[in-house]
Structure 1
Amino acid sequence: MILFLFLLISMLISCSEPFNNNGDLLPDLKPPELNKIELTDNRTLTLDFSEPVSFDDSTFFSEPDLSLESWDSAGNRLTIHFSDEQIPGKMYKCRSDVLDEKGNRLSFLIRFYGWNQNLPDMIINEFNPEGSGNNPDTVELYVAGEGNTAGAALFLGTSKHFTSYFVLPSLEVSPGDFIIVHLRPEGLPEEINESGSKSVSGGKLASDLAWDIWADEDMPLSGSNGLISLYTNPFGSIIDAVPYSNRVTADSEEYRGWTAATFDMIEELSFLEVWNGTDGFIRPEDAVYSEGTTGTRSICRDSVSTDSDMRTDWHIVPTGEKSFGEVNSDNVYAP
């Protein structure tokens, strides 16, 4: 009986409104929280909050400028309509205030990237995580459909757990095209992001047969154990991913075989369900095997870019058979 009364009292206290020491009801002074940002078209931004809000449009500011047309609020969602179309892939910064039903104010500053309704089908096709010398770390994308790459984001990790990421510039592409993302630029004048011609750029591993794109900063891949993923934009949905490892589950019981640095990335990838794992988890044995890769022994898909979200889609090529900007080699490295 004593235990029952204790549990009942605990439930009543936890479910009740907050009171001060005199038994007076305390006012609600907690502002709303912003939980999610989403674009639904090139003129509309939706914001999900922890409670219903009203929008103080007099506080709205954006850079570049977006003119407000209207807004509406339903439940915990605020929908903002712009009179201007967003520039695909362009980064916008917006500041504004919202108020909850008690008048508590939240001032927020957000970033988002302009809606791109013409994003092509793309997959990660080749990479060399142990790059060096004249063969620095590089990721190749294979284009399977026509479109524009503006705003797509390449993460070393996932969008929530990453070491770095790069937002692709505007680039009109066609089926069969290759995009080489150079992750370790040297700041040379010939390292040019191509858009009109595939033969403009120079630099290490540049190709006249592919579109060369250079990261804004140094983005080294994570050696023998890591994850590369591609998203529609930095805050968007995942398009493709490839985990790689030379470990086994027994290497670390605490992290299911992964290193501490990669564990959270892999856990999120398991949740996103874009890679086939074991019993709902992705273990090192489920990832692409990376032992033996070098700067010239890249990790790649087969020559037809098979994509079944499994380690069997991938292999390490023999020395000197890296193929950035061209159809992948089907030859397999033998230690």
Structure 2
Amino acid sequence: MKNILNMIVHTIVCTLAGVFFILLCMYHSSCHITPEGIKLVSDGITSVKIKEYSIDEGLIQVWFSKKVEPESVFAVESDETCTSIENFLNHEKKMDVDCSASNDNSLRFTVRDKTQIGKTYDLFACVKDTSGNTLSFTIPFYGENRNFPVMVISEVSDFYSRKDGICEYIELYAVTSGNLFGLELISASDDRHFALPCAEVRKGDYVIVHLRSESESCISETGDNLSLSRTKGSVNGVRDIWIDNDQSVLNSTAEILMLKNKARSVVTDCVMYCRQDYALENEKWKSEKLCEASEICLDYGLWHGEGKPSDAVYSMKRKTTSYISRTNIKYLNGNSGVKNSRDNWIGTAKSKTTPGGPNMW
């Protein structure tokens, strides 16, 4: 009798363990964490997992937990109504996408149709593993910019006065023509990133990037009309870009600014500046973020010297305000190959700043 009871208990335990195992597998296969940006739209249970993905100049590559093959792949313009498989499959305007498999359990997707720079799209894909399990997902991406201009930082002001309606700005100069979408400015002291909008610029244009926008009249001029912005600090006839920000930016004591092509993960220009007393008192940058930024600028060959505060541009000897201007703009001649260093910059007075125009000293 005792043996029979033991067998019954053993059978019940094994059965419960099996049920628990099945439920555990169902939970982990249907609720797994996916890389940021990917949205699962599968209706059923799948054992396929997405490990990671990358987007590089129109090529979207996705790595899976096992080998898969595509069942359905296309792209559409982003639409808030597309929240299910049916919405995507019934979309009226599908864009053709080429798909190829690699040996590392990844699929490579390339949109055949031309996309508009800066517009948001969704890649839809349904994939199947060797056991017949399927996974449907979407990945958002932007219309590709293949015409980046060569831009350089030409003037910086960290002056801010709410009373006078004046804010910090970074002036850019277009060495060549192109579209700004995919470029971003970085202030290293606080690791703030300021994305530039989709806007065409011509060789010789100036762009004023205002780092705060505190009123409705702060209108970014992304089209042909360069007289839309009427806020104080705007320059009529020059492209004004307003960053959606109301916080303090730019460190007036020590700062490194970088211009980065985010789409290609390349830093293309920089400027290092600090107060003269800061450089005299500190052989190295006091913050880790500034040290990292100086190394990046040196690695890309963008700044002459050892990247120390003593190699930086000295701002004017004021307590809180610094204005610096680049002096070699007219020598660039279609490329940014002219050496950039403290010798090409000067700390200047507020009366000598020229946002939107040639620098004067």
Tell me the TM-score normalised to structure 1 length: 0.70
Q: Judge conservation of contact 1:48–1:78 (CA < 8 Å) in 2.
A: yes
Q: Please give the alpha-carbon distance, in whole angstroms, between the structure 2 residues aligned to 1:309 and 1:102.
A: 58
CA deviation after TM superposition for structure 1 residue 59, in Å: 8.0
Alignment partner of 1:122 is 2:136: no
Alignment partner of 1:45 is 2:63: no
Alignment partner of 1:218 is 2:246: yes
Q: Judge conservation of contact 2:53–2:60 (CA < 8 Å) in 1.
A: no
Q: Judge conservation of contact 1:184–1:218 (CA < 8 Å) in 2.
A: yes
Q: Please give the alpha-carbon distance, in whole angstroms, between the structure 1 residues aligned to 2:252 and 2:130.
A: 51
Q: Judge conservation of contact 2:252–2:321 (CA < 8 Å) in 1.
A: no
**1:128 alignment partner AA:** S
Secondary structure at 1:248 match in 2: helix
> Taking structure 1 as reference, are residues 105 and 223 closer, same or farther at Cα in structure 2, changes over 3 Å only?
farther
1:151-190 pair list within 5 angstroms: 151-157=182-188, 162-170=191-199, 172-189=200-217
The correspondence for 2:236, drawn from 174, 199, 208, is: 208
Q: Judge conservation of contact 2:48–2:64 (CA < 8 Å) in 1.
A: no
Q: Judge conservation of contact 1:139–1:181 (CA < 8 Å) in 2.
A: yes
Alignment partner of 1:143 is 2:174: yes
**1:213 alignment partner AA:** I
Secondary structure at 2:273 match in 1: strand
1:19-30 pair list within 5 angstroms: none
Q: Please give the alpha-carbon distance, in whole angstroms, between the structure 1 residues aligned to 2:318 and 2:128.
A: 55
Q: Please give the alpha-carbon distance, in whole angstroms, between the structure 1 residues aligned to 2:326 and 2:102.
A: 46
Q: Judge conservation of contact 1:127–1:299 (CA < 8 Å) in 2.
A: yes
Q: Please give the alpha-carbon distance, in whole angstroms, between the structure 2 residues aligned to 1:250 and 1:179.
A: 35
> Taking structure 1 as reference, are residues 273 and 73 closer, same or farther at Cα in structure 2, changes over 3 Å only?
farther
Q: State the partner residue of 2:267.
A: 238
**1:73 alignment partner AA:** A
1:1-335 pair list within 5 angstroms: 33-34=51-52, 36-39=54-57, 44-47=58-61, 54=68, 56=70, 58=72, 64=78, 67-76=95-104, 78-92=107-121, 112-133=141-162, 134=164, 135-157=166-188, 162-170=191-199, 172-189=200-217, 191-218=219-246, 220-233=249-262, 236-246=265-275, 247-248=278-279, 251=282, 256-278=284-306, 282-292=307-317, 298-302=323-327, 304=329, 307-329=338-360, 331=361
Secondary structure at 1:320 match in 2: helix
Residue deviations 1:167-209 (CA, integer Å, cap 9, x gap): 3222x32221111111111122353425222222111211014
- Between stretches 48-57 and 230-239, larger displacement belongs to 48-57
> Taking structure 1 as reference, are residues 244 and 296 closer, same or farther at Cα in structure 2, changes over 3 Å only?
closer
Based on CA coordinates, which of the two structures has the bigger radius of gyration?
A: 2
Q: Please give the alpha-carbon distance, in whole angstroms, between the structure 1 residues aligned to 2:65 and 2:301.
A: 30
Q: Please give the alpha-carbon distance, in whole angstroms, between the structure 1 residues aligned to 2:71 and 2:280.
A: 53
Q: Judge conservation of contact 2:48–2:66 (CA < 8 Å) in 1.
A: no
Count of residues in correspondence between the two structures = 289
CA deviation after TM superposition for structure 1 residue 86, in Å: 2.1
CA deviation after TM superposition for structure 1 residue 82, in Å: 1.4
> Taking structure 1 as reference, are residues 61 and 162 closer, same or farther at Cα in structure 2, changes over 3 Å only?
farther
Q: Please give the alpha-carbon distance, in whole angstroms, between the structure 2 residues aligned to 1:106 and 1:177.
A: 48
Instruction: Provide structure 2 residue ranges, at least 5 long, that are not aligned to the other structure.
Output: 1-46, 80-93, 332-337
**1:197 alignment partner AA:** N
Identical pairs, percent: 26
Instruction: Provide structure 1 residue ranges, at least 5 long, that are not aligned to the other structure.
Output: 1-28
**2:344 alignment partner AA:** D
Identify, as 1 or 2, the structure richer in helix.
Answer: 2
Q: State the partner residue of 1:26.
A: none
Tell me the TM-score normalised to structure 2 length: 0.65
**1:327 alignment partner AA:** P
Secondary structure at 2:272 match in 1: strand
